[in-house]
Structure 1
């Protein structure tokens, strides 16, 4: 072979290697993009890490005054390691606690490290400073239609912008504290959307005075009306949105309830433990045996819940949901 032909061949081989690369390198180079639709206007897309993208949005369903940062509304999308854009993936929707935002799952609980090695797209979405997963009765401090945003806008938005498994076997939903109520509330109202739900340190009976106090008392300190989420004490919205009365929706959903045992000096987790245990017993009394309560050595803390709770459930979630296809 002549020196010229050999040189040309080496250049071609090098060029092919650069274009094709290894599967791992190819997946790292791919970054998702997001376009407006489904009631959501995309304002900015920022690829903050190799796996995570912050999507800043507007939606008529949620006033920014009611979100965590008040001047912005963000969704954080985290791809699985080795993500292949040619495959459809299951999605885990993850919700935060009261007075938190979607970034708490990343900054504090380190969701990227927890989900490393698992084949899920993770969406950490805004749930409001005190949104409670519902379309508010009193929206005088700003539009809050969290049911509409989470279920009618966000899920179609994610499915349209990413390759996802769109059957219920491709979706799980989970949350901490208020986010736990959000996850259970959404699951019992739309059981055809989700195959697995996990509640960490939440409460699930809106008729319980402890739960009503947890909902209403902090809202005025945030500049929000106490009767905002569910109306006055006798408003029918309390009953309509109460998971306690809709547990039949969980019959075919793999349901897990977590509560911490570090009660000393932590009244929030002590109350969450009691409310979780009572809901667990209520599920069993209604013949919903695929639900159970798991006690973990945690207080009311998203870091501990993520490390000892969510990390523990991910292998089960991988078995319950359909895999990439």
Structure 2
């Protein structure tokens, strides 16, 4: 609370002897000095108290993360003034399916975060054999989003999870659709002040994460207002995509029929964004692909992205056509030139705080 301002103190001169009058004044008594000194001490204490109250208020304003919606919070570490690493457990995902030892959700708040204000949320998904930390260690997403009033959530997508509830979970639970859409979103809404409507959510990803973002947007378009696929592929029944899905599984000791079953299994078609493009009719969809054709992975992603873009147009689905950035298959370049370019658009598409 504000305190009354005490009158200013002049530098002390040596007091006159008791009973003698300084020029133009009255006798100076020691009690007067003691009262003034006491007043000064009170003023200093008031300043310290005000600072302590302000500090306590700031600490109380910081978010707390509690368990709920199938997610158990095990540990929270604040790594920067804006970013929190929340270690979690969920029965939907076995940690053996991850590229990293721990199952973490990394949350970055706006630069001037106010817990009394509802913010939009950007969900980010990484590439194969990466973890959510790639968005921070490599892509520096905190710097990219600096100054924008949006909460960023980088979540696990697995070593090679592909955003689906696996057909063969013999090597451990992998229910990514359930974790991402039924658990993570309501858990974020529970723990932070968010805009709890599709107009308050965007989803984006790189490589495999780009597929995950588009896949989720086509399956549940009522959850997202904007979807960004960067350097990915979006047709599971294309042989190039099937190879991209199954080839890495052997490295991790995962079953080849894990994500979508055997080659003839209907899960390939059910999860295929190619067959669900109608769901994107109300979603602001953006597709990115790199121009570094000397990078074989980006060269293939470029072709697959262009084909999906043309498929959307053929079905009357407007989209920001295959935006080309001068990137190979690197998440740091993607974040700067993809997310960085789309954030101003995102602010126009989503509801503001």
The verdict on a shared fold, with TM-score over 0.5 as the criterion, is: yes
Aligned mate of 1:281, from 310, 322, 328: 310
**Residue of structure 1 equivalent to 2:75:** 44
Per-residue Cα deviation, 1:259-282 (whole angstroms, up to 9, x for no partner): 000011x11100000000000011
**Residue of structure 1 equivalent to 2:349:** 320
Q: CA RMSD in A?
A: 1.7
Alpha-carbon distance in structure 1 between the residues aligned to 2:59 and 2:315: 47
Q: Which runs of 5+ in 2 are unaligned?
A: 1-6, 8-34
**Residue of structure 2 equivalent to 1:88:** 118
- Give the deviation of 1:31 after TM superposition: 2.8
Q: Is the 8 A contact 1:284 1:291 kept in 2?
A: no
Is 1:242 the equivalent of 2:272?
yes
Q: Is the 8 A contact 2:126 2:156 kept in 1?
A: yes
**Residue of structure 1 equivalent to 2:97:** 66
SS at match of 1:251: helix
**Residue of structure 2 equivalent to 1:108:** 138
- Give the deviation of 1:323 after TM superposition: 1.3
Question: 5 Å matches for 1:1-325?
Answer: 3=36, 4=38, 8-9=42-43, 11-12=45-46, 15-16=49-50, 18-20=52-54, 30-69=61-100, 71-264=101-294, 266-324=295-353
Alpha-carbon distance in structure 2 between the residues aligned to 1:269 and 1:17: 53
- Give the deviation of 1:218 after TM superposition: 1.4
TM-score, normalising length from structure 1? 0.94
Change (3 A) 1:28 1:184: farther
Q: Is the 8 A contact 1:27 1:85 kept in 2?
A: no
- Give the deviation of 1:6 after TM superposition: 6.2
Q: Is the 8 A contact 2:312 2:319 kept in 1?
A: no
Number of residue equivalences: 319
SS at match of 2:282: coil
Per-residue Cα deviation, 1:147-179 (whole angstroms, up to 9, x for no partner): 000000000110001111101111000000000
Alpha-carbon distance in structure 2 between the residues aligned to 1:106 and 1:16: 36
TM-score, normalising length from structure 2? 0.87
Alpha-carbon distance in structure 2 between the residues aligned to 1:209 and 1:275: 11
Q: After TM superposition, what 4+ stretches of structure 1 lie above 6 angstroms from structure 2?
A: none
- Give the deviation of 1:135 after TM superposition: 0.2
Structure exhibiting the larger radius of gyration computed from Cα positions: 2
Q: Is the 8 A contact 2:62 2:115 kept in 1?
A: no
Q: Which runs of 5+ in 1 are unaligned?
A: none
Alpha-carbon distance in structure 1 between the residues aligned to 2:209 and 2:77: 25
SS at match of 1:212: helix
Alpha-carbon distance in structure 2 between the residues aligned to 1:221 and 1:20: 53
Higher RCO (Cα < 8 Å, 6 or more apart) = 1
